[in-house]
Structure 1
Amino acid sequence: MDKLKKVILGIVLLISSYGMVGMPIHPDDYINLVNKKSYKADVIIYGGTSSAVIAAVQVKKMGKSVILVSPDKHLGGLSSSGLGYTDTGNKAVIGGLSREFYHRIYKYYTQDKSWKWQERDDYGNQGQGTPAIDGENRTMWIFEPHIAEQVFEDLIKEYGIILHREELLDRQNGVEIDHEKIKSFTTLSGSTYKAKVFIDGTYEGDLMAAAGINYHIGRESNETYNEEWNGVQKDIFHHKHNFMDYKISPYKDPKNPLSGLVQGVSEVGPGENGTGDKKVQAYNFRLCLTQVKENLIPFYKPDRYNKNDYELLARLYEAGWNETFNKFDPIPNLKTDTNNHGPFSTDYIGANYEYPDASYERRAEIIKDHENYQQGLLYFMVTDERIPAPIQKEFKKWGYAKDEFEDNNYWPHQIYVREARRMLGKYVMTEHDILGHRKVPKPIGMGSYTMDSHNVQRYITAEGYVQNEGDIGIKAKEPYQIAYGAITPKENECTNLLVPLALSSSHIAFGSIRMEPVFMILGQSAATAAVLAIKEGQPVQEINYENLKNELKKGGQVLSK
C-alpha cells in the first residue's frame, strides 16, 4: 500500500510540476519529487555551531517551536573540535546560556569517571591567566573536545530540540524570498524549511549570503571606518609569529632568486599599510595531542606529503629558532589544545582566500589541503633529518589522542574558520566600539578579548628575506558592548533573519568578537530577538528594545560593566 501511495503521490506531483504537455521526465525527477519533505517551525536555525545550539535552546526556553538544521554531523563547531583552551577574556561578562555551557563542563569534571588519564588533583588548573576550574562560580573554561560535544548533545536532548544533521543549504537556488522576507530554504537533499524568523548560525554566513544580503570578505582599508588597525599591517609585529631578524631566504636555492620560491611564499608584495584587500587571516585545525602511550596514535603520513613544503621551518631551526612547544596548551587528561605559534607553524597562511565564497566542493578541497599541510607538518617533525635531534626526540613522544575524533581518524571535525563573510548590516562594529571610543546602541551582550588577527600573507621583503604580515593584537581596555544592529541586516534587504556569527563588523573588530563564548552569547540574543519579533509581529529591526533588554537580562545576559 505504501508503495502504491508513493506512485500516486509521484504522479500528482509530476502533473502539478510539469503539467500535461508531454514534457520529458527524467527518473531522478520522479525520485526527488516523491522524497521531498517540508518542515515548519516558528524559528529555523541553520548551523551546527555552539552559537546555533545555544540559539535553539533559547527559542525552546521562550516557548516557541524550533528546528536546528545542521550542515554538520557533529555539534559545537570549534568548541567541540579542539578549541578547549577557551579564549575567555574577562569572564565576568560571559553570562546566560554561554556561562551555562561552561557550568555544565564543570559538572562533568566533578565526576571521577571524567578523569581517565590523570588524577583531578594532578591537573595544573591553568587557563589563560586565570584558573581553568573556577570552583567559586562553578565554571570550567578548559576542556576536552568530546566533553564539549557531549554537553551540546545533552542540551539538544534535554530541551527536545528537533535536529536535522548533515543538511546542506542549496546556496544557489534554495532560498525563497518574498518582500524582503525569507519564506523558506531548501537543502540539497530536497528538504524545505519554513519559518517566521530564521537564524544563520554558521561561521561562513551561508544563509545570509544566499538570501542576497550584502557582505564583505577580507580587510577594509583604514579609511573605510576611520580605523588604525585594519588593512595591511606590514612590519607590525604584535606577537612572535614572524621571522624576526633570522633573515630566512624565500628561494629554493637560498642564494639564487632565479631558482623559484619555496612553498608558501607569495611573489606578490603585501600592499601599502592601511590599504584593504580580499585576503583572509589564516585557518588551521586546533589539535588535541597527548603523550599518554595507552591513548596515543603516532603522527601518520597524510594522503599528500611533500617534505619541501616545510623548507622554511627547516631553515628556521638551522638559524637557531627554538619555540616548538610554546602553544601545547594543557587541557584535562594530559592532552593539549595545540595552536599556531611562531614564524612557521600550523596556520596555513595564504591557502584560504577562496574559502568564504567557495562552493561546497571547493571548500572540501581547501579543507583537505589544510589537513594535508598540518598532518604533513607533524610527520615532517618526527621523520625529517633536518629537525634538530633533541626537538625530534621530544616530538616523537607526542601523538593524536586516541579517544578524540574517533570517526575521523583522530583528526578534528571542524577547521578553524577564523573569519569568512561579514554582513554589512544595520550597524557595523569597528575598533572604535572595541576600544570604547563611542557609545554602542542597543547592546545585546559583551566581549572583552584582544582584537586578534592571525597572519594573512607571507611575502618577500625589500631586503630579499621572507616575512609574515597581518598578525595583530590590540587589547580592549575594558569589556565592550555589542550592538543589536550588528546581527540584523538592513531593512531593505531582509526583515526576518538574524546573523550572530557572520555579523556586521570590520575585520579588526571581528578579531575580538569572534571568540566562542561571545558567539554563544550572541546566539542566545539572536534567538531572544527572533521570538520577540514573532510575538510583536514586527520585523527583527523594529522590535521593542526595552522588551529585548528585559528578556536578555532575565536570561542572565550581561549587557553592561
Structure 2
Amino acid sequence: MRTLLLSLLGLTAALPAQDIVIYGGTSGGITAAIQAAREGRTAVLIEPTKFLGGLTTGGLGATDIGNKKAIGGLSREFYTAIGTHYADEKKWVHQTREAYFSKRPHGNAADEGTMWTFEPHVASAIYDRMLKAAGDKVTVVYGERLDLKKGVVKDGTRIVKIVMESGREFSGKMFIDATYEGDLMAKAGVSYHVGREANATYGETLNGVQVGHARSHQFKVEVDPYVKKGDPASGLLPGIEKEIPGPDGSGDRKVQAYNFRMCTTDVPENRRDWEKPANYDERWYELALRNVEAGEDRISWNPVGMPNRKTDTNNNFAISTDFIGQNWDYADADYATRAKIWQAHEDWQKGLMWTYAFHPRVPEKMRLAFQKLGLAKDEFKDNGNWPRQLYVREARRMIADYVMSEKNCRRTEIIDDSVGMGAYQMDSHHIQRFVTKEGFVRNEGDVQVGSKPYPVSYRSLRPRASECTNLLVPVCLSASHIAYGSIRMEPVFMVMGQSAATAAGLAIERNTSVQAVDYGALKERLLAAGQVLDFIPTAATGGAHGVDKAKLAGVVLDDTAAALKGFDSTGHTSPRYVGDGYRHDGNSEKGAMTARFSPTLPAAGTYRVAVSYSINGNRATNVPVTIRHANGEAKVLVNQKLKPAVDGLFHVVGTFEFSAGQAGWVEVANAGTDGHVIVDAVQWLPVKR
C-alpha cells in the first residue's frame, strides 16, 4: 500500500491511470481496494478526510448484522482478525477476557473465532494491516474531495476521470463510489432517491410514513410541545415539526436520524467527563427536560459493552442521541452546508449528554447514570475523544434496473444474481417529531421488523446502462428506504465493496461494461473469494444458533405458535433459541405486550414447565410469566440476564398439574420490566411421580 498525502501538502502530483478508482475510504471502499489488488489490478483509494474506515473505525464497534453466517469474504476476514486480536490476554487492560465474555455482549461468544465488538483504534490498526498486505497495487490518497460542480468527466456513458477540488485528477478504467453520500454516483448523472418512497412504489408495507409502526423509542408520557406550555400561539419547541405526517405509507423526502456512536468508559482514569458546549442553548433541551419532569425514568441511551470496559453508545428511547429531523438536507447539500449540519449534530449531542448528566431539572438517578460513563480518553485522541464519523444512516440511494425492496428482505422475491447477503432486520430510526391532535409530542419513522438472511442483487450495484457503464455503487446501492434499512450494515458494505471490485476486475478483463458482466463468471469468482451468496437458516439444518424443536423432549411451542399482542420485533443474533429466532419488545410499550402459549397436552399429569430465552446484557431481570394449570394460576418473575440452567436454553418456572387437551397455558408479558423482554419457546415436560 502506498500512501499519498499530496493534497494535504498543497501538491497536485499526477497519479498514473489506475485500473480501478475508488472514491470513499469507508469499509466498503477498503474491501474494494484490497479485492482489486487480489484480482491483480491497480487501485487508488481516495478518502476525503484524514482517516479510513468510516463508521467501523469511527465508533460503531457493536456490529449489527443479524445472522453472522451470511457474512463471508474479506468482511469475515476482518472480524476474524478482530477475534484473533482479542484472543491475546495482553490486549485486555481494564478487564479480563473471561469477565467480558461472561456477559455475552452483543451476542459474542468466546469460542466463536470471529468477534463482532471492538475498540475503534483496533479496527483502524487491522484495516491498516490489511491494506498494507495488499502491497503497491493499492495507493491510498487522503484529503482529496470531489469537485461537486465539475468533478466527473465522461465520454458518453463512461467516466474518464474524476476531478478534486484541488484540481487533482484521477483516471481509470472502472470507478467505484463507496461513500455514504453517493457524491460520485450523483455527479455522474445516475438516478437516485432521497427520503422514503410510498408503499405503492415497490409494493411494500413498511415504507413511507409510519405513525402506526412508531412504537419503539417513543414517548411514554404526555409532553407539552409549546414554548409556553398550553399556548399554541407561543410556537413550538425546537425540533418539532409544524406539519403532521401524511397518511401511513405515503412517501416524502425526509431522512432517518443521524447521530454519533460514542465510545465511552466507566474506568475513572480513562474517562473524560461530559463538558458543557460553549454554544449550549437550553431551548434545544427543553423538550428533554419536560420529558423527564413528566415522568420519563428510562436512561435514554444504549451503551453496548466493548472490550476493556468501553462501550459503543447508541440511541435509545424517546429523546436520545438521534438528532431527529435535523438532517433532511444533508444528502444533496454542498460541503459547507453538510459541515454545518455535521457540527450541529455534534454540538447538540454533546449538549444532551451534559444536560442528562448535570442539569438540576434531571432526576438524580438519571444524572448519576450519565455521569458513570464518559468519553474514552484513549480513543479519537486527535478529535477531542469525539467520534470522527457522523452516522449517516442513509443519504442518496441509487435507482438502478433492479431496486431491492421489502419483498427481498422477506424472501417473497428471490433474485438469481446474488453478490452477497443482507441479514439485519428492516430498521428505520425516527424521522420527525410532531404534535398529536391531543396536543402532545410524538416521534415518527421508527420501524423494526425482523427478516431472515436474503441475497442482494448484482443489478442493485450497477447503474442503468443509459446512465453510466463503468461505475459500481456498493454503499448507496439501489434499494428502497426500508430495504436499505436492513442492508446498510457495515459488514454488508464490506461484502458489497469486495463484490463490486470483483465485478470491476472482470469487466476490465473482458473489456465490457459493468452491465454486461457475465454473472456466471462473477459468481464463480465470488465463491472462490469466500463470499456467501445465499442460504436459508433453519434450526433443523443447524443454521445460526437455533435448536430444532423436533429434537426437544416433551411438548414444545415456539414463538411462531403463540398468540401475540405486540412483540412484533424479531431477532436471531443472540444465542441460543428454539427454531429460527425469537421475539422481543424492543424495551418499549411496557405493559402492552403479551405472548400466550396454549399447548395440546396428550395426557393429564404433572409437567415441568420451562421458558426459553436468549441472554444479553440488555435483558430484563423481572419478566412476568403466568402459568395457568389445573389448580389455578402461578406467577413468577424471570431474570433474562441469567443463562438458562437447562442446556443454556430453558429456564424452569415450576412443576404443575395439567389436564389433558388445551385447558392450560403460559403467558409471557412485559409489564413493569426493566429491560428487553425475549419471547422464544415454552416446554411442558412430563414428570413421573
Which TM-score applies when normalising by structure 1? 0.91
Aligned partners of 1:62, 1:80: CA distance in 2, in Å? 26
Of structures 1 and 2, the larger Rg is shown by 2
Structure 1 residue 261 displacement after superposition: 1.1
Aligned partners of 2:102, 2:68: CA distance in 1, in Å? 16
Structure 1 residue 294 displacement after superposition: 0.9
Pick aligned residue for 1:473 from 419, 426, 448: 448
Aligned partners of 1:289, 1:263: CA distance in 2, in Å? 28
Aligned partners of 2:189, 2:416: CA distance in 1, in Å? 26
Question: Which amino acid in the other structure matches residue 234 of structure 2?
Answer: S
- Is the contact between residue 300 and residue 318 of structure 2 (CA under 8 Å) also seen in structure 1? no
Match in the other structure for 2:487: 513
Match in the other structure for 1:216: 193
1:199 pairs with 2:176? yes
Match in the other structure for 2:84: 107
Query: CA 1:475/1:484 → structure 2, altered by over 3 Å: closer, same or farther?
Result: same
Provide, for residues 285-326 of structure 1, a one-character-per-residue CA deviation record: whole Å limited to 9, x for no partner: 001111111101111122421122111211221222222166
Q: Tell me the SS of whatever aligns to 1:329.
A: strand
- Is the contact between residue 105 and residue 305 of structure 2 (CA under 8 Å) also seen in structure 1? no
Provide, for residues 258-298 of structure 1, a one-character-per-residue CA deviation record: whole Å limited to 9, x for no partner: 22211211111111111110000000000111111110111
Aligned partners of 2:367, 2:343: CA distance in 1, in Å? 26
Structure 1 residue 127 displacement after superposition: 5.6
Aligned partners of 1:384, 1:368: CA distance in 2, in Å? 22
Aligned partners of 2:398, 2:478: CA distance in 1, in Å? 4
Aligned partners of 1:480, 1:427: CA distance in 2, in Å? 15
- Is the contact between residue 36 and residue 190 of structure 1 (CA under 8 Å) also seen in structure 2? no
- Is the contact between residue 300 and residue 319 of structure 2 (CA under 8 Å) also seen in structure 1? no
Question: Which amino acid in the other structure matches residue 234 of structure 1?
Answer: V
Match in the other structure for 2:512: 538
Aligned partners of 2:12, 2:139: CA distance in 1, in Å? 20
Match in the other structure for 1:381: 356
Match in the other structure for 1:242: 218
Provide, for residues 87-123 of structure 1, a one-character-per-residue CA deviation record: whole Å limited to 9, x for no partner: 0200111101000000111111122332122121211
Structure 1 residue 237 displacement after superposition: 2.6
Bigger mean CA offset, 37-46 vs 48-57: 37-46
Match in the other structure for 2:565: none
- Is the contact between residue 22 and residue 44 of structure 2 (CA under 8 Å) also seen in structure 1? yes
1:554 pairs with 2:545? no
Match in the other structure for 2:403: 428
Pick aligned residue for 1:483 from 431, 438, 457: 457
Structure 1 regions of 5+ residues with no counterpart? Answer: 1-30
Count of residue pairs brought into register by the alignment: 525
Pick aligned residue for 1:47 from 14, 24, 28: 24
Match in the other structure for 2:384: 409
Match in the other structure for 1:269: 244
| Residues 68-87 of structure 1 mapped to structure 2, 5 A cutoff | 68-87=45-64
Structure 1 residue 132 displacement after superposition: 4.8
1:118 pairs with 2:92? no
Structure 1 residue 235 displacement after superposition: 3.0
Q: Which structure's residues are more often helix, by fraction?
A: 1
Question: Which amino acid in the other structure matches residue 476 of structure 2?
Answer: A
- Is the contact between residue 176 and residue 183 of structure 1 (CA under 8 Å) also seen in structure 2? yes
Question: Which amino acid in the other structure matches residue 453 of structure 1?
Answer: S
Provide, for residues 189-222 of structure 1, a one-character-per-residue CA deviation record: whole Å limited to 9, x for no partner: 2211111100001011111011111100000011
Query: CA 1:325/1:174 → structure 2, altered by over 3 Å: closer, same or farther?
Result: closer
Q: Tell me the SS of whatever aligns to 1:199.
A: strand
Structure 1 residue 397 displacement after superposition: 2.3
- Is the contact between residue 48 and residue 70 of structure 1 (CA under 8 Å) also seen in structure 2? yes
- Is the contact between residue 487 and residue 504 of structure 1 (CA under 8 Å) also seen in structure 2? yes
- Is the contact between residue 37 and residue 190 of structure 1 (CA under 8 Å) also seen in structure 2? no
- Is the contact between residue 80 and residue 149 of structure 1 (CA under 8 Å) also seen in structure 2? yes
Structure 1 residue 382 displacement after superposition: 2.2
Aligned partners of 2:383, 2:490: CA distance in 1, in Å? 23
- Is the contact between residue 62 and residue 106 of structure 2 (CA under 8 Å) also seen in structure 1? no
- Is the contact between residue 276 and residue 351 of structure 2 (CA under 8 Å) also seen in structure 1? yes
- Is the contact between residue 23 and residue 178 of structure 2 (CA under 8 Å) also seen in structure 1? yes
- Is the contact between residue 36 and residue 191 of structure 1 (CA under 8 Å) also seen in structure 2? yes
Aligned partners of 1:440, 1:126: CA distance in 2, in Å? 39
- Is the contact between residue 132 and residue 142 of structure 1 (CA under 8 Å) also seen in structure 2? no
Structure 1 residue 126 displacement after superposition: 4.8
Structure 1 residue 37 displacement after superposition: 2.6
- Is the contact between residue 125 and residue 131 of structure 1 (CA under 8 Å) also seen in structure 2? no
- Is the contact between residue 357 and residue 369 of structure 2 (CA under 8 Å) also seen in structure 1? no
- Is the contact between residue 94 and residue 517 of structure 1 (CA under 8 Å) also seen in structure 2? yes
Pick aligned residue for 2:327 from 349, 352, 355: 352
- Is the contact between residue 453 and residue 471 of structure 1 (CA under 8 Å) also seen in structure 2? yes
Aligned partners of 1:167, 1:468: CA distance in 2, in Å? 38
Aligned partners of 1:379, 1:493: CA distance in 2, in Å? 48
1:453 pairs with 2:453? no
The percent identity for this pair of structures is: 47
Question: Which amino acid in the other structure matches residue 31 of structure 2?
Answer: I
Question: Which amino acid in the other structure matches residue 64 of structure 2?
Answer: D
- Is the contact between residue 81 and residue 145 of structure 1 (CA under 8 Å) also seen in structure 2? yes
Match in the other structure for 1:130: 107
1:158 pairs with 2:116? no
Provide, for residues 511-552 of structure 1, a one-character-per-residue CA deviation record: whole Å limited to 9, x for no partner: 000011111010110010000000111100111111100000
Aligned partners of 1:423, 1:388: CA distance in 2, in Å? 46
Match in the other structure for 1:528: 502
Q: Tell me the SS of whatever aligns to 2:107.
A: coil
1:182 pairs with 2:159? yes
Q: Tell me the SS of whatever aligns to 1:237.
A: coil
Question: Which amino acid in the other structure matches residue 52 of structure 1?
Answer: G
Which TM-score applies when normalising by structure 2? 0.75
Structure 1 residue 128 displacement after superposition: 6.7
Structure 1 residue 234 displacement after superposition: 1.3
Match in the other structure for 1:11: none
Provide, for residues 331-377 of structure 1, a one-character-per-residue CA deviation record: whole Å limited to 9, x for no partner: 11101111000111100001000100111111010000000000000
Bigger mean CA offset, 149-158 vs 538-547: 149-158
Quick one: higher RCO (CA 8 Å, sep 6+), 1 or 2?
A: 1
Provide, for residues 11-61 of structure 1, a one-character-per-residue CA deviation record: whole Å limited to 9, x for no partner: xxxxxxxxxxxxxxxxxxxx99x9453441101100010110011000101
Match in the other structure for 1:6: none
Query: CA-atom RMSD, angstroms?
Result: 1.5
Structure 2 regions of 5+ residues with no counterpart? Answer: 1-8, 536-689
Q: Tell me the SS of whatever aligns to 1:374.
A: helix
Aligned partners of 1:247, 1:50: CA distance in 2, in Å? 42
Question: Which amino acid in the other structure matches residue 219 of structure 1?
Answer: R
User: Moved runs in structure 1, 4+ residues, more than 6 A?
Assistant: none
Match in the other structure for 1:318: 293
Query: CA 1:452/1:42 → structure 2, altered by over 3 Å: closer, same or farther?
Result: same
Match in the other structure for 1:496: 470
Question: Which amino acid in the other structure matches residue 311 of structure 2?
Answer: T
Q: Tell me the SS of whatever aligns to 2:353.
A: helix
